[in-house]
Structure 1
Amino acid sequence: MTWKRKILRWIDEEEDRLKSSGECSLQYVILDMSTVGNIDTSGISMLDEVKEILHRRDLKLVLANPVAEVMKKHDKAKFIENLGQEWIHLTAGDVVAACNFMLHTCNKPSPMKEESEQ
């Protein structure tokens, strides 16, 4: 089984688990890249495909712990530009904090909107 299929299967399983338990829906998929010491064009292409599939499913791909060599290749392939630098973090803790921040700030109505509705 390819990594792409494994990632998508894990996402499907997690979405099914969340639906059956009545919990909130999945919004972010975090990939810890710390064990990826090198990546080739097929690996970058696979990540790009996963990103696009997630985008169509209204999910956001977020990367944690990328090593310098992998970041250089992502940059050269324009993957960072395509993903967005704000979705790449140095530690898993940073990723979780950023996603948590987005969950709590993006879902709240803006004060200006509330005032105009009154």
Structure 2
Amino acid sequence: EAPPPMRALLARSCWRRVRERAASEARYVWHRRQGYSLTSLRRSPPLILLAAWHTYGVWLAFCAIVCMAGNTFLSWYIGWYGKVPTEGSSDDSGFPYQCFFAIFFRSWLLVHVTSE
């Protein structure tokens, strides 16, 4: 039987070294991981920065949602107030009291709910 070619021997030895190194690194990580607890992780500066970053991201998302909701409410208010002169009034003075008080109550309700 002929000996295996040199290239095949080199490939086998290379893969053997890769497997041995991966196994030794896995053992090292496993032993190092055993020393961690939640209290030590809470004091870790990278995790504190990561928590602060996520808090900042959640705050930005909340602010964006509030701004979009405010924009939607404002566009509804402008659209509704734009219909006031075109709708008929309930008396001879020409001022639509029902629409005025509906808009007034809606604005008061919006301010009251958002101030809570």
Under TM normalisation by the shorter chain, which class is it? under 0.3
Using structure 1 for the length normalisation, give the TM-score.
0.22
Q: Which has the larger radius of gyration?
A: 2
Relative to its length, the structure with more strand (as a share) is: 1
More contact order relative to length (CA 8 Å, sep ≥ 6): 1
Using structure 2 for the length normalisation, give the TM-score.
0.22
